[in-house]
Amino acid sequence: MRSKNAGSRMNLNQPLVSIGIPVYNGEGQIENAVRSVMNQTYTNLQVIISDNASSDRTGSICERLSAEDPRVHYSKQPVNLGPSANFATVLDLARGEYFMWLGHDDWLSEGYIEACVGMLSEDPDVSLACGQVVYYQEGVEVFRGDVVQLPQESPQKRVTAFYRVVWDNGTFYGLMRRDQLVKVKMNNVMGGDWLLIASMAFLGNVVTLPGVSVHRERGGTSRSYENIADLLGLPKFHAVFPHVAIAYFAFRDIVWSDPLYSLGVFQRVHLGWKCQRSIRLRHGASLWDVFRKILSLCKQYGKSVIVRDDEEPKNPGDR
């Protein structure tokens, strides 16, 4: 099996690449994800699996893979840290010059890391290189994700351009320079992955490469905004108006919250305003759209109250 011998054939002259795989109860998919990394044409790898206190067979599967290949490092958390903290954990444990996240239910095409390392090595202005994401539903390809190209010289123009094109944000699963990534805030908010990639775009160019892909099965933790809000422990408002929330957090990060945006006050306000407006208008979250949705929700709530009030009590004492 090629993956078993890959560790002994590592080219230590190559930059070390760390791949972080956060997982929770992923017994049905984790082996496929890890093997897609073990079988990469690029061999100088460190695979970091952080098990978020799984209650299924995830641990035994990962321990077997770790015993098979010394590049695979497995650790299990004593308690569930939550998804954002688990994503941060694999980054904290990374030692590679380059780093990327991989979902436990995703997998990489065989030449993915080699192609991304080649781009980052050739062009120091590039902060992130990725392939296009291919999405599947029960094993059948259903669509392909964003092709994000941010070659602009101006950091502000790159950030603005990112928020104008981002949709599924498969760019999040690209290969990044770890020394840049550790400077970026990891926000436990709706759209935190968008904010992170916008910050990486501020630091350098973003390139989507042809011919390589991250393959993602739909229906996981990001299957709905309601599920994301529940997992992150966010107020229900974030699930009902996700792009209003994302727009607010993008504005907050740029204008005052994130010191990474090393701009003057006027430049930060101007950039933040443009980005939040772009997010809202592209995703049907203008002020009028929000007002209409609130009005619709109020009408629904009013009808449910009327129905409950019209119901006869079960006994006179209920009144």
3-class state of residue 74 by DSSP: strand
Q: How far apart are CA 84 and CA 222, in angstroms?
A: 13
Q: Which of 73, 72, 101, 71 minimizes the C-alpha distance to 87?
A: 101
Partners of residue 22 on adjacent β-strands: 50
33 near 104, Cβ under 8 Å? yes
**Alpha-carbon radius of gyration of the chain:** 22
Domains of the chain: 1-103 (3.90.550.10), 225-293 (no CATH)
Are 238 and 263 spatial neighbours (Cβ–Cβ below 8 Å)?
no
Which mean pLDDT values do the consecutive 10-residue runs of the chain (319 residues) have? Answer: 50 88 96 98 98 97 98 97 96 98 97 98 98 93 95 98 95 98 95 97 98 89 84 91 95 96 97 96 77 66 48 43
How far, in Å, are 167, 187, 194, 263, 315 from residue 253 at the CA level? 19, 10, 11, 12, 55
Separation of alpha carbons 14 and 10, rounded Å: 8
Q: What is the dihedral of CA 266, 272, 277, 278, to 10 degrees?
A: 120
Give the predicted TM-score (pTM) of the model.
0.88
Structure tokens at 45: 């790898």
Show Cβ contacts of residue 171 under 8 Å, excluding neighbours closer than 6 positions.
Answer: 128, 130, 146, 148, 197, 206, 208
Q: For position 1, what pLDDT does the model report?
A: 41
With beta carbons less than 8 A apart as the criterion, state whether 158 and 197 touch: no
pLDDT at site 218: 86
Closest CA relative to residue 180, chosen from 233, 229, 127: 127
pLDDT of amino acid 298? 73
Burial of 67 (0-12, 13-18, 19+ CB in 10 A): exposed
DSSP letters along 77-126, please?
A: -SS---HHHHHHHHHHH--SSEEEE--TTEEE-TTHHHHHHHHHHH-TTE
